[in-house]
A and B are shown apart, each in its own frame.
Chain A
Amino acid sequence: QQPVQSPQAVILREGEDAVINCSSSKALYSVHWYRQKHGEAPVFLMILLKGGEQKGHEKISASFNEKKQQSSLYLTASQLSYSGTYFCGTEMRGGSNYKLTFGKGTLLTVNP
């Protein structure tokens, strides 16, 4: 029931864009996105609750396709500070409320 993230890793030059995908085989109630720097705890980016909902955080935005049980994280005009591992966490309908199941992560490296 672990969501599947793709790609596993991506390397960018500063200013380039990237998309990270998260998909589930189960009906989802919400999708959460986190970023983790090496040696630190995951840091919250955003939550998407409704199908088709898009949220934004600076130049990072996300969408949630409820019908396809998929979410995508969009990073535009990447900055060096965007480097880290990105995790999606999914909360399923009908399951134990509040429980988040995380994907294996996507390692994003932004080079000068």
Chain B
Amino acid sequence: NAGVTQTPKFQVLKTGQSMTLQCAQDMNHEYMSWYRQDPGMGLRLIHYSVGAGITDQGEVPNGYNVSRSTTEDFPLRLLSAAPSQTSVYFCASRATGTGANEQFFGPGTRLTVL
């Protein structure tokens, strides 16, 4: 199992450009989510999905869009990048159902917006 994979690992954008951060998991997890991490702020939830075709907003959704057409993939789109979106982005997935299920994180994408 590859687990949770993210591409690219690094990206530099100019203000106003758009891009998509890719996330995929091969564990058949229904729940997937996106976090951003900024110094001193911890991990803040951007968007999440409880299954294909179902998405919802987290704590900091402004400026980001998501879609979930398959169980495996959960891309994050920046429509018009701003310097405030400079951050490290982590995708995560988790099994659903009863019991205690750990959340698995991808390796992260480090994004810089100039």
User: Is the Cβ of B102 less than 8 Å from the Cβ of A44?
Assistant: yes
Mark the stretch among A12-20, A70-78, A99-107 that contacts chain B.
A99-107
A-B pairs with CB below 8 Å: how many? 60
> Which size class do A's interface residues fall under?
20 to 34
Contact partner of A30 (CB less than 8 A), chosen from B35, B44, B100, B108, is B100
Q: Are A44 and B31 in contact (CB under 8 A)?
A: no
Q: A41-B106, A41-B107, A42-B105 are in contact. Are A105 and B42 (CB under 8 A)?
A: yes
Say yes or no: B104 contacts A44, CB within 8 Å. Answer: yes
Q: In the complex, what distance in Å separates the CA atom of A6 from the CA atom of B41?
A: 14
Partner of B102, one of A1, A2, A32, A96: A32
Partner of B48, one of A32, A44, A49, A99: A99
* Most chain B beta carbons < 10 A, residue from A32, A41, A47: A41
B interface residues, Cβ below 8 angstroms from A = 31, 33, 35, 40-45, 48, 50, 56, 58-59, 90, 94, 96, 100-108
